[in-house]
A and B are shown apart, each in its own frame.
Chain A
């Protein structure tokens, strides 16, 4: 079955760019009409949708983060990537990638904790 695995540095310095990758295994990210999302969760808080992308590169962003976020897809590697620029301590969170269809996230990665600190 399809599985998602996030990867990236666990520590990022303030003002730098956070870069994460989500690798899809057990299936192709270009099949099934799914969107692929990044969602984050601040410590002890609720979930926050960050962005989603279709395999053809069609992207949509959370308006509150749009100026700092870039989501991209590499179908040859079956990977989705996230870049978040000019990070601050407020970007410290667990970042999840998830598969989405009709506003239902049915498969999630295990999540990766990112801490912004000098």
Chain B
């Protein structure tokens, strides 16, 4: 069970859109839409931003959106703001009641 692959870093200017990829295999991302995304500021616990691939919990800005194509899930942040600067982690169901997280991406605004 290998970690899902995310780019180490992504950067953008305020107001721009960025996309973070999360690449797995047909045993995890490719087979299930049980994918979630988390935002983590330094020294803080992660915060759920997207679940079931594209759903937003109550209170999460609609600037955050999720999608999937094949073995790759993506998180898009539109209208980038300074407060979006954080680490982002993806997570996928991997079958047999196991889960796998991504390697994490540092977003710089």
> Which of A45, A103, A106 contacts B92, CB < 8 Å?
A103
Tell whether A15 is near chain B: CB-to-CB under 8 Å: no
> Which of A39, A64, A96, A103 contacts B35, CB < 8 Å?
A103
CA distance A39 to B89 in the complex (A): 13
Contact yes or no, B45 A49, CB < 8 A: no
Number of B residues with CB within 8 Å of any CB on chain A: 27
Q: A46-B89, A49-B91 are in contact. Are A104 and B36 (CB under 8 A)?
A: yes
Tell whether B24 is near chain A: CB-to-CB under 8 Å: no
**Binary interface encoding of chain A residues 15-37 relative to chain B, with 1 for a CB under 8 A from any of its CBs, else 0:** 00000000000000000000000
Contact yes or no, B48 A104, CB < 8 A: yes
Contact yes or no, B97 A60, CB < 8 A: yes
**Min distance, Cβ A114 to any Cβ of chain B, angstroms:** 15
26 interchain pairs, CB-CB under 8 A:
A39-B101, A45-B104, A46-B3, A46-B6, A46-B89, A46-B101, A47-B38, A47-B89, A47-B91, A49-B100, A49-B101, A64-B1, A102-B51, A103-B51, A103-B91, A104-B36, A104-B52, A104-B57, A105-B36, A105-B38, A105-B46, A105-B48, A105-B91, A106-B57, A109-B45, A111-B45
